[in-house]
Each structure stands twice: as structure tokens, then as C-alpha cells.
Structure 1
Amino acid sequence: MSPLIISVATTCAATAATFFLGMVAARLMYDVRGGFRAWIDGILTLPLVLPPTVVGFFLLLIFGRRSIIGRALEHVGLTIAFSWPATVIAATVIAFPLMYRTTLGAFEQVNPTLLEAARSLGASEWAVFRRVLLPLAGPGVIAGTVLAFARALGEFGATLMLAGNIPGHTQTMPIAIFSAVEGGDMHAALLWVVLIVVLSLAIIRLLNVEKKTSRMARVEPELPRPEPAEQLPTAVAPVRETASPVTLDVDLERTLEKFTLRIVLGAGDGAVGLLGPSGSGKSMTLRMIAGLSTPDRGRIVLNGRVLFDSGIGLNVPAARRRIGVVFQDYALFPHLTVAENVGFSLARMTKDERRVRIWNQLERMGIAELANRYPRQISGGQRQRVAIARCMAMEPDALLLDEPFAALDPHLRRRTEEQLRAALADFSGPVVFVTHDMEEAFRFCSELQVLDSGRVIATGPKHRLFEHPRTVATAQLTGCKNIVRAKRVGDDCIEVEAWECRLRSAEEVPENLTHVGFRSHQIAFQKSGEKENTFLCWLVTTSEAPHEMTLYLRMHCEPLPGQAPHLQADVSKEVWRDLSRQPQPWHITLDPARLLLLES
């Protein structure tokens, strides 16, 4: 055989071997963490930095006739060294690092939240790889294949060491060039050089054309609308197999970088809100419930089914928990249409069943006209509705919402809230709603749990937490804007140094009182000072919103330039119009029944 045929056969075989070996190595390394990762990666990348003759020498030690492997193969009639398979092995080893590193880099560029979303939708690890990771990393994989092909085609040193220079058997084009130059035949050498350059350029160009064609060939698939008789009633919720009560019981602990997260949570037929500042452990709680992160210890039980129990070593994978997750950044698969995103979890259904279920959810969320568009072609509010429809399509046993409106502007937030409220009205399972916005939590949840640095500092019905927050952190998270230090001076009396006054309380003042709070919208303006806890006040400054005014007030005496206000009061525009016509000072009352008696 001529060097051209030997080179083409060797390069094709080596590229195929490198493709699969590089993909497997990159996928395995993708999940590896810890100190050993750098060492493993260094070993896999080593042929890229070593001189090819050194790599060839090591291969000769492994596959040579005097090696253990070489002698074992000779016993079965196989010889690797100085044979055509040796050229393939040498080219594969030399080209492997390029394929591995490029593919690993492409995998690491894929948003990991997309993989977690796929797992939460019931996809196995193989399905996650095949349907999400590989398609999104496709350009990088193609680039790695091209680089591996080019490197295998030009391999010389390792091939010469392991396979030798046997015309018609192992003499590839690079070796033929070396032999021609060594023999003084520069014309033959130039011919082989031109062939290598032309072949390399042709393959690279062909792969680029195929890549471009594959992009252009993807036409938006039309999802046919089901016949009216096929459609599910849009107001009917999925029927559960059992009539047993729906419950989610969580008791978990996990050590994080800054604190240890301890969470005890119970949810039934309704929404429980996890309220807390950023970094308090809210999202990690959802990840542990969904099976995307593993707790150190604890137990999760959903509708009587144990999902996690550290005591018996049970940890049900996320794909089998049947828990829907709406992620903060939507986590829509960019290579799939809206309809394909919604139907991602329905792969086991028949085509007609899947089509009906998808259209049902699209129409419930008011996005049926977007069925054949891609996520990049729709707005943020529409993406969030797609994410909700995708979760509801799988008919989950529980639903987790991780700050679903954080990325939306106020107008879109209101519209999407209405769509979500309608979807939750048809959902009979436990719902856990994570937010740092008290108003969102109040609108969607009946029960609230307040987290601060990994601890549950308050829990109970939302109205009770709002009226009696008990702690400073809870009061702040539930929107109280007037909180100052205070001390108990009697059973129903507290002294507030910052406000230069004493206040009467309608309830007994606790011994451990450290602060007092008063909500800005509950400050009452009076015409006289007859009521208890009524003081004179002057206006320091104002701040205007579309429907209300925020007044910053100083009590007892007219403020001097630069003096800070004592209180913040939120009033309607109508109240402000009346107040602005009245001479100062005004009278304000801090209702004894509305004082928030707090501990730090």
C-alpha cells in the first residue's frame, strides 16, 4: 500500500478511537473534583507536551516484543510492534489529548443548571448526556475531532518508534517525507507534503461545511395542535392515584462554607415560603429536597415515600423523586423549542399522548403561540412561563420554586405571578416557594419559615409572623423599616433612647427585649395629641413612589440641618395631599397594640 492509503486508514481509525476515548475520558473527568483531578488531568494530557519520540519509546516498552503485554500477545499470534495497528496506536495516543481537552472544555462551558434541570425532569444520566450535554457541547466536540484528525495525520515520532518505517505496511506520509529527504529525493518529499496539506485543508473545510449545513438544516419543527376531542380540559388538575394526604417532611443538616444549615420543614396541600436574605441557605434547601445536592444527615419524606435517609444510607436520585423545580434563571434548554422543552419529561409517552399533554400546558400558561420558537426568541416573562409549564407537564408530586420572579421587571412579574397563581390553583401537592421578597411570600404562601445564616429563626402562618415577628431579623425580612434598640422599664413600658421617648405596649413586655419596631404604613396621623404614644413630629424629607409617599419624620422638635429622621412613614397620595396642607408639627400615634417587641 502507498503511504497515502496507509496514512488515511491510520488517521481515520485513530480519529474514531480518539473520538470515543476522548468523549469517555472528558465525561468522567467532568464529574471529578478534589486534589486528584489535577494529577489525573496531567497524566491524560502528558502526550501533548512530551516529545513524540519519548511517547513512542514508552509505547515500545509497553507493546514491544520483550514487554509483558508483547509476549502475552505473541502467545495468541498477535504482534503489535512494527505492524499497521502500531501506527494506529501511536496516532491515537498522540491525538487523544487534543480531543480530550477540547471536549472537556466544551462540557465545562455548558451551564450546569441545565443538567440539573434535566435530572429534576426525570432524565437518567445517559439521557442527560445524550439530550442536553452532548448537543450543547457539539461545536467543541467537532473542533476536538478536527484537531485530533489533523494531529493523527501528521504524527511521525511515536509512529517511527513503535511501527518503524516499513514500505507498504507502516510507512505513513510523514515517514515517507522523512525517508525521501534522507535519500535526497526532494521532489517526492514535496509531493507528500502537498498531499498532506491538501488533505488536511479538505477535511477541515468539509467538517466546517457539515457543521454549517447541520445548523441550517434545523427548521423549526411544527407541533401539530391536537383535535378538540383530544385536548384535556384546561381547568382540570391531574388526578392522583390515591386520595391520601399530600405531605412533605424535611429534617436536614449540611455543613456549608460559612455556617451549618439546619432545616426542619413540613408542607402539605399549599405553599410554604422560605424567606431570608441572600446566602441564608434557601436555595441549598431546595437543592437538597430535589436531590441535586446531598445533605450530611437527615431525612426527606414525600407523601409517605422516603427520598433520603442518612440513617439507612438511602438517597433516591433526582430523576426518580418526581419533584418539579422552577429555577431562578429558567434553565430552559436552548437547543430545544418551547414545545420540546415542555415535553422533555414525557419521553416515555406515546407521540399522541405527549402532544396532548404539551398543548394542554402551553394553553394553560397562555404561550401556545410560542410552541415552535426557541428560548432565545422569547422574552424573560415568557421563558418563566415555559419553565413553569415544563414542570407542570410532568405532574410532579411536589413543586419547588427558587425565586421565580427575581429576573423579571415589575410589569412582567405581575403578569407571570397571575399565570403561576392559576397553575398552582390546579396543583394539589406541596409547594416550597423561596424568596427574599416579603410581598411575594405573602401573596403565594400560607405558611412561612424565616432563615438566617442556616437557621430557622421563625416559622408559622404568615399573618402571625407579620404581626408578631419576635426577632429583629424576622421583622426586617417581613418589611419593618423602623427598628431601634429599646429596654424594658415596666410590665407594659419600654424606653427608646433613639426616639427620645417612652412607649406603652398593649402586651406584656418580655424580659429579653432588645429592640422595638413599628411598621411604616401603620403610623397614624392625628389631629390632636390625646391618644397614648402620640408625639409631635416634623417632616425632614420625602420620597415619592407612583402610588404612595414615604415621609421621613423627626419627633419632639423641629429638626436642625443635618439631623437624621427618627421614623419612616408610608402614606397614600391622598393622605399626603391632606397632610401637606396642614401646618407643622403634626401628631403621630404609635399604636400600643402594633408595637413589635423584638429580641436580637
Structure 2
Amino acid sequence: MPQDLSPLWISLKTSLLATFITFFVGIATAYWMLGYRGKAKSLIESILVAPLILPPTVVGFLLLVFFGKNGPVGKLMESLQLDFSIVFTWYGAAIAATVVSLPLMYKTALGAFEQIDQNLLRVARTLGATESTIFWRISLPLAFPGILAATTLAFARALGEFGATLMLAGNIPGQTQTIPMAIYFAVEAGAMEEAWFWSIAIMVISLSGIIAVNYWQERREKNRREQRRTTKQGGQGGQGGQGRQRGQGRLIVDIEKVLPEFHLKVSFSADHQPLGLLGGSGAGKSMILRCIAGIETPTRGKIILNGRVLFDSEQGINVPSRERRIGFVVQNYALFPHMTVAQNIAFGLPKGISGTAIKQQVESKLIDVQLSGFGDRYPSQLSGGQQQRVAIARALSSQPEALLLDEPFSALDTFLRSQLEQQMIETLADYQGVTLFVTHSMEEAYRVCPNLLVMESGKIIQNSTRYDVFERPATVTAAQLTGCKNFSTAVAVESGQIEAVDWGCNLQVVEPIPDKLSHVGIRAHHITFTDDSSQNNTFRCWLVRATETPHRMTLFLKLHSSGSASDDYYLQAEVFKEKWVTLKDQPMPWYVRLDPLRLMLLQ
């Protein structure tokens, strides 16, 4: 053991100061770069990580030029007549350690922030949180494990810095000689025992911090797994409300947004009755919600909620998400994982209310969604259905004027989806604002929403009551989205008669024939089998193949002649299995009727 332990104290002093500086500078820089979209981003990124790539001696030389007597800092200090020097002092060693350890802190912290689900931040904004609140209550706590690891790595890097320190601070025993330099010069002097002592010391100090952080993270993950295993799944049922009188909410949307995939252009209004947005993936449904919530900015147009202008491109109005008073429930619910159920719900409550009032309102919301007693649990301890109910309770806690639901049942199994769907209907019956419900399921849309807006490629193709949309779809796409499987190109023959070209037959129709008729359609369960071949729209058919579901049979039929292959069919008919039992043994051909009242004339 060497008699002079000053390298230990100098190393600890410089590395701790360097870590302290890089902690704040690294986090601030990483968070700023996360949202920076300027043209100079690549250049700034390169400068920040350069000390990680360049040889330490080059970094030290550049620092020496910068802080030296003839450098910018040196000349500035001389002009201010400051009797102070950074070169060949322990401050120089601390600066060198800071510069070489900052890239590790920055890159690791940036990675930690990038791993945060952006839906959490978007939902927080819709709940009225400011950017500073989001940083301190969501981003920083969620990124903390990564930041802690970054701090440990930065400290270890600062502790082991040699080249840059030697160039800027030199090797002055008792003043600037750190442990790495003590090792180097001990080896040069042939003092191997002293070199071994300092090598072991620096390894123990560096590895102790890394091991401690790894152990903490492993224990933390283990505790989470144990909590998930021991959590009892329950409370799946629903609870109805008392059905308060509805408000007179009104939402007007008339926007365009140019996207790489398609051009979103929609104009519609919604009132107190839930409006369902039905369409396939990529139709633009979720983008509409994001524009209304203020998460995305339309290219042009306007959004008005209860007389308040939320967005107007001509007047330059774009109200921030936190001020729009809109509740948003996204597909994965975006519950804050580091907060309890009670804290999640309280996050959306108005600011400035007392602690007692917060507890009362949170408990009231938990009772409303039948989760009383779950306030102390974390999202990871909840089932999918429970998470969904907490997300809805949190969205409603901010007393929004509009509630946006983006496929809230997509992550649930069929049985649970049915239960929660009924509870959703009851919850919306009590809600007094505007509700938009996005789904790609025609059955969900029909059950939950009295009015439907059908979309395709960023355009509205039908906006009407659910009855009209399902019974009288305006286009082939609308008919497909509502479950119709049978289509044929069609042309008008005369009044009350059309030709179904693909089916090779003429059909009597009841509906007025539209001027731009393009197709005729009929739903599979509207096709009937008959023994009376004299009825109108009745044709001979042959069974090509059949598929089975738990309660129904789907029959693939060809009209006029038998099919030559499994895909040689015209129509799909659905019958209950009781009907199939009596039908399957009948000799071919069968007779199928396309009821004129059930035919859909499409444009």
C-alpha cells in the first residue's frame, strides 16, 4: 500500500464533480434532443458523442487549446484580470473527466427517454398536464432506472479517464495525479505492487457501483413479477349508473391533413349521442381523434367543441392538448406504470383541490367502474379489463367535454369484451359530453353507437344512423365493413329490374335504382332456401363446399350449374345448424331465393 493516497482523493473528487455536472447536463440535453426536430440535429448529435469516438489525447489537446493561455477561455480570464488557471489544476482534471463521460450519460439517458411509450405523454397532455409536470411526474420517474445506469457508467468513465486529463491537467503529485496516472507512472518506475494496489482500487470502486445498480434493477424486476403472480384477477363485472340527463355537447370537425399514406379530409359533427368511426386499418380513424385531442396538427381546417375553437388554420388558433378538456383512451390504455390506480385517476383531477377532495373523487370514480379497493394496486397488477376501466375513469376524472375512445376493446378476449362492452354502454349513458368511438368491428359499432361514420382512405363514405348504415350501405366498401360478403357488378335493365353480371341473372328490386349503380349485394344470412321455384329471384344452385362455425354453417353456392373447383362459387349463404341438418341430404340442385327486399343497390 503506497504512503501517498492523494490519487484516491483526487480521483474521487474529480469524478464525483464530473458525474454531478454530467447528470444534469446529460439529462437536460437528452430530453431536449428527444423533441428537437431542427436541421442541425445530426451536427449537434455528432458533437455530443465525439468525445466517445475520438482518442482521449485528441480530446485533451482540444481542451488544452480551448482553456489554455492563448485559447478563448484563457484570453477571457486574462481580460477579466482573473488570477486563476484551469490548465494543470484539479479543475482541469474534472473538466476533462466531464467531457469524456458526458457522451455516455447523454446516450444512455436518451435511450431511456426513447423507451417511454409516447401514448403516456400524449394522454397526460389531454389530462391537462404541463410539459414540466409531464417531465417530473412521468418522463423522469419512468426513465430513472436507465438514468441511474447512465450515472454509474459516467462515474466509472470519469474515474478511469487518463489521456485527456494528462493533456489538460498534467501529472502533478498531490494536485492532479489521479489513480490512472498513478498506475501508469508506477509501472514506468517498476513499482508493480503500487500499480497493483491502484488497479484493484479503481476496479473495486467502479465495479461496486455497477454491481449495485444491476442488483437493484434485478430486485425491482423480481418484485414486479412476484406482484403480478400473486395478484388475484377479479372485478370483471359492470355496474350501471342512474342515467343522468344528457348535456347538449356539440363537436364540429372540418379538417384536412396530408399524410404520406393518404390525404385525410373529413367534415362531420357529433352531439350527445356516441358517434362510431368504423373503417379498416389505415382509414384515418385514429388520426381524427389525435387531431381533435391536439396530439396531431391538421394541415388546414377547424375544430370547434361546444362553441370553443380548438383549431382554426386560417385564424392561427391551435389550443394545446392540456387546455382542450378532452379525455382520450388509447388502445393500450397508457396507464402510468409507476403510479398506483388511485394516482393514475388523481392525475386527471383539476388542480388546486384539497387532499380530502382528491381521495373522495378517486374513490367515487373507482366505485363507478366497480374497482373499489383497487386504488393501491399498480397497472401491472391488473387484468386487461381492469386496466381499461381505470383508463376510462382517469379520462373522465378531468371532467372532459369530449371523450375519445380508440379501439378500447382490441386487447381483450371475446368473453371479457362482451362484459365490458355492456359496462361501456352504461357509462356512456351517464356521460354528458360528446363521445367518439373508433373501432374496426361492425358488431361493436352497432351495439355501442347510435350513429356511425364509415371511412375509407381518409374519406367519409357514409355518415348516418347505424340502422341506415347496416340496412342501406351507400357503397361497396361500406357494405363490406358492415359484414356483407356477396357482391356482383350490376347494370339497370328497366324500372325495378337489374342484371347481376357476375351471378349471371336478372333480379327484381324494390329500392329505386340509383343513377350511378355499380354493384348489387346481399348479406349471407339473408339468402333463403325454398322449394317453390316459381317465386321471383329464385334460382337453381349447387353446393361447392361448406365451412363450419360453432352455431352456423357457411355454404358456398354456384348458380345455374355445379362448380368445377372449391373457389368456383357465386354466393355465400349462412344457415343455422338446425337448418343444415334438413338441407344437407336434399338432392341437387337446390333452389335459392334472393329476396328483393334484402338486395342492396350500391354505388
1:128 to 116, 134, 142: 134
- Counterpart residue type for residue 274 of structure 2: A
2:544 maps to 1:540? yes
2:196 maps to 1:190? yes
Name the counterpart of 1:149.
155
- Counterpart residue type for residue 309 of structure 1: D
2:441 maps to 1:442? no
- Counterpart residue type for residue 303 of structure 2: I
CA 1:82–1:345 in structure 2 vs 1: closer, same or farther (change >3 Å)? same
Partner SS for 1:486: strand
Name the counterpart of 1:380.
384
Partner SS for 2:98: helix
Is this contact kept in 1: 2:310–2:319, CA < 8 A?
yes
CA 1:586–1:132 in structure 2 vs 1: closer, same or farther (change >3 Å)? same
Partner SS for 1:346: coil
- Cα distance, 1:559 vs structure 2: 4.2
Distance, in Å, in 2 between the alignment partners of 1:250 and 1:77 is: 67
Q: Deviations over 1:434-483 (max 9, x none)?
A: 11111111111122111111111221222112222121111111211111
Please show how residues 201-350 of structure 1 align to structure 2 within 5 Å: 201-208=207-214, 235=241, 245-346=248-349, 348=351, 349-350=353-354
- Cα distance, 1:68 vs structure 2: 2.5
Partner SS for 1:460: strand
CA 1:369–1:570 in structure 2 vs 1: closer, same or farther (change >3 Å)? farther
- Cα distance, 1:40 vs structure 2: 2.1
Please show how residues 456-475 of structure 1 align to structure 2 within 5 Å: 456-475=460-479
- Cα distance, 1:244 vs structure 2: 7.2
Distance, in Å, in 2 between the alignment partners of 1:319 and 1:79 is: 49
1:359 to 363, 388, 391: 363
Distance, in Å, in 2 between the alignment partners of 1:452 and 1:36 is: 38
Is this contact kept in 2: 1:272–1:433, CA < 8 A?
yes
- Cα distance, 1:100 vs structure 2: 0.7
Is this contact kept in 1: 2:240–2:427, CA < 8 A?
no
- Cα distance, 1:512 vs structure 2: 1.9
CA 1:88–1:511 in structure 2 vs 1: closer, same or farther (change >3 Å)? same
Is this contact kept in 2: 1:270–1:428, CA < 8 A?
no
- Counterpart residue type for residue 463 of structure 1: Y
Partner SS for 1:301: strand
Is this contact kept in 2: 1:388–1:420, CA < 8 A?
no
Q: Deviations over 1:473-517 (max 9, x none)?
A: 111112111111111222322111221110122133223212111
Q: Deviations over 1:344-388 (max 9, x none)?
A: 223733222222222222222222243333222332222222222
Distance, in Å, in 1 between the alignment partners of 2:357 and 2:224 is: 24
Name the counterpart of 1:530.
534
Name the counterpart of 1:87.
93
- Counterpart residue type for residue 299 of structure 1: K
Distance, in Å, in 2 between the alignment partners of 1:218 and 1:6 is: 40
Q: What TM-score comes out, normalization by structure 2 length?
A: 0.91
- Cα distance, 1:211 vs structure 2: 5.3
> For structure 1, which segment, 551-560 or 117-126, has the greater mean C-alpha deviation from structure 2 after superposition?
551-560
- Counterpart residue type for residue 65 of structure 1: K
Partner SS for 2:348: helix
2:172 maps to 1:166? yes
2:506 maps to 1:502? yes
Gap runs ≥5 in structure 1 = 222-232
- Counterpart residue type for residue 325 of structure 1: F
> For structure 1, which segment, 108-117 or 11-20, has the greater mean C-alpha deviation from structure 2 after superposition?
108-117
Name the counterpart of 1:452.
456
- Counterpart residue type for residue 554 of structure 2: T
> For structure 1, which segment, 465-474 or 572-581, has the greater mean C-alpha deviation from structure 2 after superposition?
572-581
Distance, in Å, in 2 between the alignment partners of 1:375 and 1:450 is: 34
Is this contact kept in 1: 2:544–2:566, CA < 8 A?
no
Partner SS for 1:360: helix
- Counterpart residue type for residue 125 of structure 2: R
Q: What TM-score comes out, normalization by structure 1 length?
A: 0.91
Q: Deviations over 1:219-266 (max 9, x none)?
A: 999xxxxxxxxxxx9836799xxx973111111111111211111121
Is this contact kept in 1: 2:388–2:408, CA < 8 A?
yes
Name the counterpart of 2:517.
513
- Cα distance, 1:30 vs structure 2: 1.3
1:391 to 390, 395, 417: 395
- Counterpart residue type for residue 296 of structure 1: T
Runs of 4+ in structure 1 deviating by more than 6 angstroms, as ranges, are 212-221
Name the counterpart of 1:427.
431
Distance, in Å, in 2 between the alignment partners of 1:558 and 1:185 is: 98
1:38 to 32, 36, 42: 42
Distance, in Å, in 2 between the alignment partners of 1:246 and 1:55 is: 63
Is this contact kept in 1: 2:490–2:499, CA < 8 A?
yes
Partner SS for 1:343: helix
Is this contact kept in 2: 1:327–1:403, CA < 8 A?
yes
Distance, in Å, in 2 between the alignment partners of 1:157 and 1:542 is: 78
1:489 to 493, 516, 525: 493
CA RMSD after TM alignment:
2.6
- Counterpart residue type for residue 490 of structure 1: E
- Counterpart residue type for residue 430 of structure 2: D
Gap runs ≥5 in structure 2 = 228-238
Distance, in Å, in 2 between the alignment partners of 1:205 and 1:145 is: 13
Distance, in Å, in 2 between the alignment partners of 1:401 and 1:59 is: 55
Is this contact kept in 1: 2:241–2:427, CA < 8 A?
no
Q: Deviations over 1:312-367 (max 9, x none)?
A: 22212212212111111222222223333222223733222222222222222222
CA 1:54–1:454 in structure 2 vs 1: closer, same or farther (change >3 Å)? same
Is this contact kept in 2: 1:234–1:363, CA < 8 A?
no
